[in-house]
Amino acid sequence: MGVKAHMSRALLSVSDKSGLVDFARGLAARGFDLVSTGGTARALQQAGLSVVAISEVTGFPEMMDGRVKTLHPRVHGGILARRSRADDLAAAAAHGITLIDLVVVNLYPFAKAAANPDTPFDALVEEIDIGGPSLVRAAAKNFEDVLVVVSPADYPAVLDALDRGEGPSRQFRFELAKKAFAHTGRYDTAIAATLATIAAGPDAFTRGAPPLLPPSLPVDLRKVRDLRYGENPHQQAALYEGFGPHPGFRVLQGKELSYTNLLDLDAAARIAMEFSEPAAVVIKHTNPCGAATGRATAEAYVRARDADALAAFGGIVGLNRTIDVDTARAIVSTFIEAVVAPEVDEEARPVLAAKANMRVVVPHDAPADAAEAGTRHGSSGLEIRSIVGGMLVQTRDVVREAHGAWPGSDGPTVVTKRQPTAEEWQALRFAWRVCAHVKSNAVIFTSADRTLAIGAGQMSRVDAVKVARMKADAAGDRTLAGAVAASDAFFPFRDGLDAVAAAGATAVVQPGGSVRDQEVIGAADEHGLAMVFTGRRHFRH
């Protein structure tokens, strides 16, 4: 295990001691002197390793409860000295500075302390590392001469690089430096974000919830992988994870996920998670072809698929329950591109595997009990979209007004002479939860447990109704008589409501809020429709 002669001193000071002792032994075996601080030095000494205390390097004891220990020219001079500069080396020699060739540092666990709302402010401040980031940044700046390691995951690769005849490559050094700056960047971002939640009073510091839309929005995204291309073959694309409450999908089988697959899987999961009862949705181009509930997952899926069987071919399926054998058999009976569900039963996996190219994915944060899936959709989080010259940021749209049963104290208001029947109430709530996820302008028709026709992404609500009727007519065996309708925003004129009535709907749910609401209510009364206002719009652009 040869190593270049000048690679002789390593400084180790870590909070995360995973793999530390084995790594330090590897360094010692390769001829490194180990310099260390505080708890790290104690851990190494207890493992039988010879350690030079940082106080022996600086000539000063660690002081002020460890606040001051590495901030010294004999430390930073040893890291920052450029080996290619004779004047730097002469200065180091003149002041008795020994060069440090490897820095192993990860920082105080500030994020862990901040995640606990009961952490006192003074204790939180003590978790703000000062010397650690300085060491990391100094070593990363001088990466040409100093290796910097901030993650235990890199320990094996560092030892392998040291064993190379020519030593660690320039590219390897630079990759470690980039990780180091990202590490300190995330650390500072966590501190700034946490301090933004704290108010300084005359006698105490009060900690509150972080603002949903802060004055600045640092976004830390880590590339998972490059994708074959974006929406079109001429567009480059990649998948990044790490921002917001939904950290992506774990692939159980199938071909590589594409850009559009991921968009559709996200849309499918959002709709499926709206429901606490077994539910299924089939997606095409982020819009539902069909959505349904059932007594069991297989029944819900077949209903959703058959709501628009033609469009469902090659679609993306979302479920809110574990895929069992019956559901797996139903899924593989036709061509489906991808499926997302909280989990897959072991018995169902061979059934799905018969369609080797079909992607089967589960969320990384799927609940252990799949029956809880329907309660997981309520987290807020942020959504970010780029525009020319900037970014648009909003909180996630959650259909909170439909979380409880309808009718209810938190449900919509009846605005017509006729009250909805019990079955219409059930159907209206179902329709509203699906309609919120259909691209605007949207008008959909449903029964109490399945979609019947969906008019999505039209320029007017009359056109949306026409599209829905066209879809129903194309099904051949479909009638909208007795259905309920949902409109994601208000009807600006009565013509949209007249179109809904002409299609056969008997009840309507919409937000209300138009200057012509009374005209639209009057039209509903003329047609004998029941209509309810939710008071909340759900545009989806």
Catalytic residue (one of 141, 179, 246, 466): 141
Helix (H) or strand (E) holding 182: helix 170-195
Q: What is the dihedral of CA 211, 212, 216, 218, to 10 degrees?
A: 120
- How far are the Cα atoms of 47, 50, 134, 287, 341 from residue 53, in angstroms, in the given order? 15, 10, 18, 63, 53
| Phi-psi region at 24: left, alpha or beta (left = phi > 0; alpha = psi -120 to 50) | alpha
Spatial separation of the C-alpha atoms in residues 132 and 107, rounded to whole Å: 6
- For residue 285, indicate whether it is catalytic: yes
Nearest partner of 322 among 298, 305, 292, judged by Cα: 298
HSE, side-chain direction, 13 A CA sphere, residue 388: 0
Cβ atoms < 10 Å from Cβ of 338 = 26
Spatial separation of the C-alpha atoms in residues 242 and 259, rounded to whole Å: 17
For residue 267, which amino acid is it?
A: A
For residue 351, report the phi and psi dihedrals to the nearest 5 degrees.
-65, -45
Cβ atoms < 10 Å from Cβ of 5 = 7
- For residue 141, indicate whether it is catalytic: yes
Spatial separation of the C-alpha atoms in residues 474 and 490, rounded to whole Å: 27
CB 37 within 8 A of CB 132: no
Catalytic residue (one of 179, 255, 285, 466): 285
CB 374 within 8 A of CB 403: no
Beta pairing class for 249-253 and 359-363: antiparallel
Residues labelled catalytic: 141, 285
